[in-house]
Structure 1
Amino acid sequence: MNQRFVSIILLNYNSHQFTFDCVDSINEKTQNVQYEIIVVDNNSAPDKYEALQPVADRPNVRLIRSRINLGFSGGNMLGVQFANPTADYYYFLNNDCILRTNVCSQLTLFMDATPDAGLCGAQMFTGDGSREATFGYLPTLGSKIIGHSFVRTFNPALYPAIQQVYTEPIRVPFIMGSTLFVRASAFHAIGGFDVAHFLYVEEEDVAKRLLQIGFYAYLVPQAEYVHFTGQSTTRNYDVEKEYYISLFHYFRKYHSWPARALFRAYYVIKNGRKFYQDRIYARLAGFIWRGSPMRESLRHRQKIR
């Protein structure tokens, strides 16, 4: 049987050293599959992009430069357009990750053996070697208002324990965006990522849309990688706002108007009650109360270089 082909897509934004380490770990660990590595530079500063360019000299690497920051969804979709059109799988991997095992081969074998799997992911570890949660729950009113522990008692299959150590593959609601290994045919069928999501909630959205056409998400714990969490994104008020812009875009797609109103009230109260800890919470509560308008997204501030 011919070896499967995996197109591995990495986004780089002012973080070239992480990209070098990630690419080197892929080339070191990957066996028994054909693969390419597409590095999309998401409009890094000119000096940072110049420092990145030697990555194109590494094996199996193609470097693409975007003239604007397209965010997570848009940047990855740019990478898809340059990917091998006959690829069997796409692996969307954060550049601040390194592989601990032969992840691409392990996930390929799992997907080949699991026809209803639309996407899967490897087990995440932190930089200090601690096991980290690799999946989450799709946002529902029940889980937000009465808590995940309570709703799990009624539907444990839909809410597997996040902190449990798993030794065998398990079906999960969605996989964290740092390790999205996706069946190319299913990804094509849903039109790829929704590029309206600039920074957050992309993984929930793609898992939801795959579920709508009959494909599920799985954690494959035998495959392992390290994620140096948060190294490529600076947290600030504008970035915090971006989360709620994406979250409420998700709610508008999949939930009714009354449900969205309840979600808005929930998040206003959640942030507002913490105003004494940091004024950012009061500002976020006001932003959510205004409807988390997408016109205030960072993507609308982009200037073409």
Structure 2
Amino acid sequence: MKLSIIILNYNSSSYTLDCVASIRNRTQLADYEIIIVDNNSRPGDLGRLHSLTKLPNVKIARSRINLGFAGGNMLGLQIADPSSTYYFFLNNDCQLLDDVCGRLYAFMEENTAVGICTGQGINGHDGHEPSFNHFPTLGMKVLGHSVMRVFNPAEYMSRHRVYDHPMVVPVITGSAMFVRATALWQVGGFDPAYFLYCEEEDLCLRLREGKWKAMLVPDVRYLHIGGGSTHRNLQTDKEYYISLFYYLRKNENVFKRSLFQLYYTIKIGRKALKNKHFAQLAWFILRGAPGRESLRYRQGSTVSPHQPVEDYQLTQSLITP
């Protein structure tokens, strides 16, 4: 198998169905498979994916709990064809606008130093959407991208500029990550300690440390509708800071972490009088964004403990069409 495409579904089956349809309609590459990991959706939502079980080269795995982005993708990797040369981690709220898989495959075959790449995202209004990001640094947070670009233009290139040729970038955004299998396994895959957010920064940093390049291929386009399964609220905002401070604990010293904590506490705390949401969030950050308050620990399985799950592979007994 040349390519395994891994898609997560969480109570958003309509997006997943459209995403799969676009892959099948646009992809000219031979020997690819589609793996859908259901992150403990409601039974009715999972049932709407039943039609996909009849398609060739489509696998559907169901987790008993929501494993989050990193954990869900790692589950997908466990059932991917072991001979796959590349993995394409694609958000279910994306649709391919051309032969994205075939063209990124060809690009990676020609550029063997590249460990991860992506195409150019297009938003729902047919406008440019940034497809790469920067590593979180204090300089960027305090001084801004424009100032930091003066000192290090390669590291702080503009995310909103329209590029016309492949570019080395710091971080590939998580909506569409095309990854070389040898590079992914060299660095150990995704870190499942992340539940939501910062997984791509963590992965791209480890790939960089392993001497692999991350690149944007702007003439390959995909539509990113947005809002497939994560809705913004206080808990998801807290989840971002849980992930961010976990990332900082892995990669920064105590002094820098303390400065980050002070910066965000002041920045968000200044809005506290306008909205109690910000007051709660600032207090959460001041307490160190404790991981024990993660959404990971506030969920229940929608699978009956008496239902069989054989190798996590979806069977028709788990679906109500």
Same fold (TM over 0.5): yes
CA distance in 2, matches of 1:120, 1:103: 11
Aligned residue runs from structure 1 range 49-88, under 5 A: 49-88=46-85
Task: Structure 2: give runs of 5+ residues left out of the alignment.
Answer: 304-321
Tell me, in whole angstroms, the C-alpha distance in 1 between the residues paired with 2:5 and 2:62: 16
Instruction: Indicate the residue corresponding to 1:221 in structure 2.
Output: 218
Aligned residue number for residue 104 of structure 2: 107
* Number of aligned residues: 302
Amino acid paired to 2:140: S
Identity %: 51
Distance 2:202 2:30 in 1: 28
Distance 1:277 1:63 in 2: 45
Which residue of 2 is the match for residue 166 of structure 1?
163
TM-score scaled by structure 2? 0.92
Alignment correspondent of 1:47: 44
Aligned positions of 1:139-288 closer than 5 A: 139-288=136-285
Distance 1:278 1:220 in 2: 41
For residue 167 of structure 1, give the secondary structure of its aligned residue in structure 2: coil
Give the AA of the match of 2:93: D
- Which residue, 80, 96, 113 being the options, matches 1:116? 113
Q: Deviations over 1:100-130 (max 9, x none)?
A: 0100111111111112211001100111211
Superposition deviation, residue 155 in structure 1: 1.0
Amino acid across the alignment from 1:221: P
Please report how far the alpha carbon of residue 277 of structure 1 lies from its aligned counterpart in structure 2 after TM superposition.
3.9
Hey, what's the Cα distance between the residues in 2 that align with 1:77 and 1:251? Answer: 22
Higher normalized contact order (CA 8 Å, seq sep 6+, divided by chain length): 2
Q: What amino acid does structure 2 have at the position aligned with 1:30?
A: T
Taking structure 1 as the reference length, the TM-score comes to 0.96
Structure 1: segments with no counterpart, 5+ residues: none
* Counterpart contact for 1:10–1:40, Cα < 8 Å: yes
Deviation at 1:59, TM superposition (A): 3.6
Q: Deviations over 1:79-106 (max 9, x none)?
A: 0000011111000000011000100111
1:98 to 87, 95, 99: 95
- Distance in 2, matches of 1:277 and 1:117, equals 46
SS in 1 for 2:184: helix
1:43 Cα offset (Å):
0.3
Alpha-carbon distance in 1 for matches of 2:57, 2:223: 21
Render the CA deviation track for 1:278-299: whole Å, top value 9, x for unaligned. 3211111100000001111111
- The 10-residue stretch of structure 1 (277-286 or 96-105) with the greater mean CA deviation from structure 2: 277-286
- In structure 1, the partner of 2:313 is none
User: What letter corresponds to residue 233 of structure 2 in structure 1?
Assistant: N
Q: Secondary structure at the match of 1:194?
A: coil
RMSD between aligned alpha carbons?
1.1
C-alpha distance in 2 between matches for 1:213 and 1:33: 30
* Paired residue secondary structure (2:49): helix
